[in-house]
Structure 1
Amino acid sequence: MPTLVLGNIVAVHDQAGLDEYRRRVMSTVEPFGGRFFLRGAEIDVLEGDWRPGHVSVLEFPSADHARRWYRSPAYQELVEVRSGVDLELVVFDGEGDRA
């Protein structure tokens, strides 16, 4: 079952850092079997007070792949590059429809 990683950019304090991060992030994702499921989607909040900024969703073959990507030296280097960006990053590891 694929695992999803949701990223929500809350605030940007360093646009140049964010631009460099965006240029380089795919090179860190692909070695772990990841891909962007969606990037910068329009969002319609149907219930609640969630106020998303710029949302992207990555898909990985497993939670292990997603966590190894996040902890990889290549991605951790990019975490430093985007230090001027307030980002929420969440892993969703589930079994899909359990009916």
Structure 2
Amino acid sequence: MPAYVIVNTRVSDPVKIQHYRDLAQQSVHKHGGRYVVRGGPLLVLEGEYHPERLVVLEFDSLEHIRQWYASEDYLQAKAAREGIAQFDMIAVEGLAVPL
């Protein structure tokens, strides 16, 4: 069943974060994930939630997300964003919808 990583990012150094983005993108692709949303304009329809920048990743399952998140290559990416970005990150299973 597909699963998604949803990330709200707050970046304090837009130049230095590029190194993280490069490492993270390589890691996501290596582990079979893909970007569904990567920033872009936001429209708040209801409530008080006002994320700064949203990223949504899709993987084949929650288990694939666990493996990616704990991988050495993603740990290196996480280290590259230390002190320059704060992330709120969750993972959620999607629906297996027949075509």
Normalised by the shorter chain, which TM-score bucket? Answer: 0.7 to 0.9
More helix by share: 1
Q: Which runs of no fewer than 5 residues in structure 2 stay unpaired?
A: none
- 2:87 corresponds to: 87
- 1:13 corresponds to: 12
Measured after TM superposition, the shift of residue 92 of structure 1 is: 1.1
- 2:60 corresponds to: 61
Q: Which whole-Å deviations, capped at 9, do the CAs of 1:32-74 have from their partners, x for residues lacking one? A: 2100011113221111100111111000000010111011011
- 1:72 corresponds to: 71
Report if the CA contact (8 A) 1:33-1:61 is conserved.
yes
Specify the code of the residue in structure 1 equivalent to 2:64: H
Measured after TM superposition, the shift of residue 17 of structure 1 is: 3.1
Question: Is 1:52–2:51 an aligned residue pair?
Answer: yes
Q: Distance in 2 between matches of 1:17 and 1:68?
A: 26
Report if the CA contact (8 A) 1:41-1:56 is conserved.
no
Measured after TM superposition, the shift of residue 96 of structure 1 is: 5.8
Q: Distance in 1 between matches of 2:24 and 2:69?
A: 11
Partner of 1:58, secondary structure, is strand
Report if the CA contact (8 A) 2:39-2:53 is conserved.
yes
Q: Which runs of no fewer than 5 residues in structure 1 stay unpaired?
A: none
Name the TM-score, length of structure 2 as normaliser. Answer: 0.86
